[in-house]
Amino acid sequence: MTVTKEQIDEYAEFMDEPLVLFDGLEGAIVGIGKTHTQPSRVIYSVSKVIEILMEDGIDHDEAWEHFGFNIECLWAGPHTPILLYDSIDW
């Protein structure tokens, strides 16, 4: 199930919390994570992120390289999205 950007925006407004989104990867959002006393965080499917990157015309290995250097290592504070490794496809 994919969660839409609009649903994320509605949740953020309702909870009065900022949420960090990755540009161009809305199709890989699977939900929002929340634990007691911690801020909410958007959850992305890693396998869907790789699929989206490959749709942009790069091959599998290049998609993983881009993911590792530009997405996986990103730190945007306590609202940094969670990456769900839902398929081990290295």
Share the mean pLDDT of the chain: 91
Whether residue 90 is predicted with pLDDT greater than 60 in this model: the reply is no
Token reading at 76: 């945007």
Question: Strand 82-84 and strand 41-45: pairing?
Answer: parallel
Question: Helix, strand or coil for residue 43?
Answer: strand
Listed by start position, the domains of the chain span: 5-84
1 band by pLDDT with thresholds 50, 70 and 90: low
pTM of the predicted model, to two decimals? 0.88
